[in-house]
Chain A
Amino acid sequence: MNSISSMNTTTTTTKASPMTETKISARNVQVYYGEKHALRDVSIEIRPRSVTAFIGPSGCGKSTFLRCLNRMNDTIDSCRVEGHILIDGENIYDAKVDPVQLRAKVGMVFQKPNPFPKSIYENVAYGPRIHGLARKKSELDDIVAASLQKAGLWNEVKDRLHESGTGLSGGQQQRLCIARAVAVSPEIILMDEPCSALDPIATAKVEELIHELRTNFTIVIVTHSMQQAARVSQRTAMFHLGLLVEENDTDKMFTNPDDQRTQDYIMGRFG
């Protein structure tokens, strides 16, 4: 599936000048669902400690590509990925890579808030526990508290850590999911339309949170809302019909895109 023959050359190119520092580097990624060619030839560089937004009409492959970055597509039987995706210069589709280890490094927040039907504490503590990040109960307590603080949820839930996570409001649940992702100290956080199920106030809170998380994490976010992409991201990538149409600085993308299709999409002419 993935040849590692060109690994070395690719590695050298990705470790280029500090100006274009790269966290994730995708090279000619092809994704097939059975016979369907869902993603064609996607190549993109994602910078560390920044927010990159993927936009595009439904079914364009942006979520598919996002799920390639932590190999969540492995769970789909018919899905096949070709090409290279390098994180810190290592090919994550190498046969030696265990997706479990990868997902500890690349966390994910999903479209619909999906807390475990357990207590708030257990929700956050689950990841650190399975990865053995805490040796003592007190360490685990610290990780849970710190993660909830980073997710801006601590003040709202600190008195009811042992109540069910599913009893929170939608926005709180989504921030709980972010805290859960943060708790395993990943380097990259993938967000698949994290605000699509939230009301505007909860959305604003999550966006603010993304802004803060940017200082420590590399964030890739898929969004249907152009305004959201413009608000939260530094770089934006536009997908259309399985192709990466354009990737650019967000400012440029929304004012003067290079590609006509991007222009049309942003103006609302299709999609």
Chain B
Amino acid sequence: MTDLTVTGASALAPRGKSLLELDERTRRRNAAETRFRMMGLVAVLVGVFVLVFLLGSILSNGLSSFRQTYISLDIFLDPAKLDKGGKRDPAEIAKVTTFGYAPLIEKAMADAMAAKGVTGDGVSAKAAGELISKEAAADLRRYVLAHPQAIGTTVNFDLLASGRIDGYYKGRVTMESAKLDRNISPAQLQLADKLKSAGILVTHFNWGFFTAPDASDTRPEAAGLGVAILGSVYMMVIVLVLSLPLGVAASIYLEEFAPQNRFTDLIEVNIANLAAVPSVVFGILGLAAFINFAGLPQSAPVVGGLVLTLMTLPTIIIATRAALKSVPPSIRDAALGVGASKMQAIFHHVLPLAMPGILTGTIIGLARALGETAPLLLIGMVAFVRDYPAGPPEGFFDPASALPVQVYNWTQRGDPAFIERASGAIIVLLVFLILMNLSAIILRRRYERRW
């Protein structure tokens, strides 16, 4: 007690300095704090700037892919050309190839120009037909095969304009570039302008971008994400169905039941390591295990889903274990104290409380899997796939593409129109990712409990 009073007295003695002026030490400490704050602010600003720049460039390149130029024509489905037998026999109609449909389109184009008083000005009927995508004839044929009764009638179609015409209205193609371009001439562009003012050439929302399959190098206007979106959705379904129960079961066992020994330590270390394994390695594993050994088909969502499941499992296990750990032990004690068995305590009390954390971890793991490209390249999902996979579950074994792979694919193509497509696909992918992360945040907000 006496000691205390003595030190107290000495502490009370004036230090010889006023509180109103800063001493050297305080000044330096304050300066250090200011410096640190400024550095933090600069780091945040740099991050924000990079993000804005990235998003800005993607949006400026990609938003235009959601609008597309079409040529609206009334096409007479001439029975003399499409169904010579006149029996409306599908097998008979199918014998007419796309080349058989091109003259119909050319004729409709000439008719429309004549009707609206648009003159070709030296552009031949064939060259005028080139304003329309080569894909249009195929689309028309598909329509006729689906609706054979339409033969003999006149139907209004919005046919895809060719990639160059579409590019002209998106600023990608100019009169100067058209002079050097073998696929388009300035005269054709002038004709397009006339068609536009005549209301034949129209621009509207591009549903085909979301529904159409991929298209060849020379038809960027027809390329869509249909197969890729379907493939990605299939894979996410497989990943969710496999990794959530497996991951949660493994976590519960490791966290609640497993004895603490060398073996479980080894497992824990390896799970942590697996989470850090480069994803391309999982691709090689998938190639060796699922395709070469198990004999599953290449390019199939089932293989992609399995590989991504392996990749996502460690993430889910780590998140689930963290969520289980964060449930206060008092809840376990309370349940055990009234005579619940260990399993009842876990399933009735611990797991429901850990659920928001588990779901957040799962969704974030899924989001990572959705954006994963490298392992899919190795299992053949990079292939050019034009046919939609069948409905589930058979469709899981059909070849399909995936969103990030489609982006990768399109960036490899020569036609500049694919830059726009790739950016558009990135926007779609980002929207999916944002939606998933948003749902994770909402789940967390809604079910989070505080003790």
A184 and B339 within 8 A (CB): yes
* Known contacts A103-B338, A117-B353, A117-B449; is-contact A112 B332 (Cβ 8 Å): no
Given contacts A114-B330, A117-B449, A130-B344, contact A72 B336 (CB under 8 A): yes
Q: How far is the CA of A126 from the CA of B336 in the complex (A)?
A: 11
Q: How far is the CB of A147 from chain B (nearest CB, A)?
A: 11
Contact A100 B337 (CB under 8 A): no
- Kindly report which residue of chain A lies nearest to residue B256, judged by CB atoms: A75
CA distance A115 to B333 in the complex (A): 10
Contacts of B259 in A (CB 8 A): 77
**Bitwise interface map of A from 78 to 116 toward B, beta carbon under 8 Å scored 1, else 0:** 000000000000000000000011011001111010111
A interface with B by C-beta (< 8 Å) = 70, 72, 75, 77, 100-101, 103-104, 107-110, 112, 114-117, 126-127, 130-131, 166, 177, 180-181, 183-184
- B:313-356 near A, CB below 8 Å: 328, 330-341, 344, 348-349, 353
Q: How far is the CA of A103 from the CA of B341 in the complex (A)?
A: 10
Whether A110 and B339, one on each chain, are in contact in the complex, defined by CB atoms closer than 8 angstroms, is no
Among candidates A72, A127, A180, A183, residue contacting B333 with C-beta atoms closer than 8 Å: A72
Interface centre among B330, B333, B334, B449 (most CB of A within 10 A): B334
Q: Is the CB of A114 within 8 A of B333?
A: yes
How far is B56's CA from A107's CA once the two chains are assembled, in angstroms? Answer: 63
**Interface members, chain B 82-128 (any A CB < 8 Å):** none
Q: Chain A residues near B330 (CB, 8 Å)?
A: 110, 112, 114
- Counting chain B residues whose Cβ lies within 8 A of the other chain, the interface size class is 20 to 34
Tell yes or no: B156 within 8 A of A by CB.
Answer: no
A104 near B339 with CB under 8 A, answer yes
Check B331 against A127 for contact (C-beta < 8 Å): no
Residues 413-451 of chain B, each 1 if its beta carbon lies under 8 Å from chain A, else 0: 000000000000000000000000000000000000101
Q: How far is the CA of A237 from the CA of B358 in the complex (A)?
A: 45
In the complex the two chains form, what is the Cα distance from A109 to B333 in whole Å?
9
Given A77-B260, A130-B344: A115 touches B334 (CB 8 Å cut-off): yes
CB distance from B66 to the nearest CB of A (A): 46
- The reply to whether B339 and A100 form a contact with Cβ atoms under 8 Å apart is yes
A75 touching B339 in the complex, CB below 8 Å, given contacts A117-B353, A166-B451: no
Interface of A is mostly: helix
Within 8 A of A (CB), among B39-94: none
CA distance in complex: A70, B333 (Å): 12
Q: For A109, give the chain B residue with the smallest CB separation.
A: B337
User: Smallest distance from the beta carbon of B143 to chain A beta carbons, Å?
Assistant: 59
Seed contacts A70-B337, A108-B337; 6 additional CB < 8 Å A-B pairs: A75-B333, A101-B339, A103-B336, A104-B338, A110-B337, A115-B334
Q: How far is the CB of B187 from chain A (nearest CB, A)?
A: 75
Least Cβ distance of B313 to chain A in Å?
26
A117 to B259, CA, bound (A): 28
Check if A116 sits within 8 Å of B344, measured CB to CB: no
User: Do residues A114 and B334 form an inter-chain contact, with CB atoms below 8 A?
Assistant: yes
Separation of A70 and B344 alpha carbons in the complex (Å): 18
Residue in A75, A100, A103, A107 whose CB lies within 8 Å of B332: A75
Are B353's CB and A100's CB within 8 A? no
- Residue picked from B336, B338, B344, most chain A C-beta under 10 Å: B338
Please give the distance in Å from B93's CB to the nearest CB on chain A.
66
B340 to chain A, nearest CB (A): 6
Does A130 contact B337, Cβ atoms closer than 8 Å? no
Closest 9 A-B residue pairs measured CB to CB? Answer: A127-B338, A114-B330, A104-B339, A108-B337, A103-B339, A114-B334, A100-B341, A117-B449, A100-B339
Nearest CB in chain A: distance from B57 CB, A: 47
Q: For the complex, what is the distance from the CA of A117 to the CA of B331, rounded to whole Å?
A: 9
A130 to B346, CA, bound (A): 13
- Cβ-closest chain B residue relative to A110: B333
Bound CA–CA A115/B332 (angstroms):
11
CB pair A130–B336 under 8 Å, yes or no, is no
Are B339 and A116 touching (Cβ within 8 A)? no
Q: How far is the CA of A146 from the CA of B165 in the complex (A)?
A: 82
Residue pair A116, B349 in contact (C-beta under 8 Å): yes
Report Cα–Cα, A177/B337, bound state, in Å: 10
CB distance from A153 to the nearest CB of B (A): 16
Residues of B contacting A75 in the complex (Cβ-Cβ under 8 angstroms): 332-333, 336
* A186 and B331 alpha carbons, distance in the complex (Å): 20
CA of A214 to CA of B77 in the docked complex: distance in angstroms?
96
| Cβ-defined contact, B334 with A184, below 8 A | no
Measured between beta carbons, the chain A residues less than 8 angstroms from B337 are 70, 72, 103, 107-110, 181
Contact A130 B333, beta carbon cutoff 8 Å: no
Beta-carbon contact of A116 and B334 below 8 Å: yes
CB-based nearest B residue for A190 = B337
Complex CA–CA separation, A127 to B334 (angstroms)? 10
CB distance from B51 to the nearest CB of A (A): 38
Q: Contact partner of B331 among A70, A116, A180, CB < 8 A? A: A116
Of the A-B pairs whose beta carbons lie under 8 Å apart in the complex, a sample of 13, sorted by A's number, is A100-B339, A100-B341, A101-B339, A103-B337, A107-B337, A114-B328, A114-B330, A116-B335, A117-B353, A127-B338, A166-B451, A180-B338, A184-B338
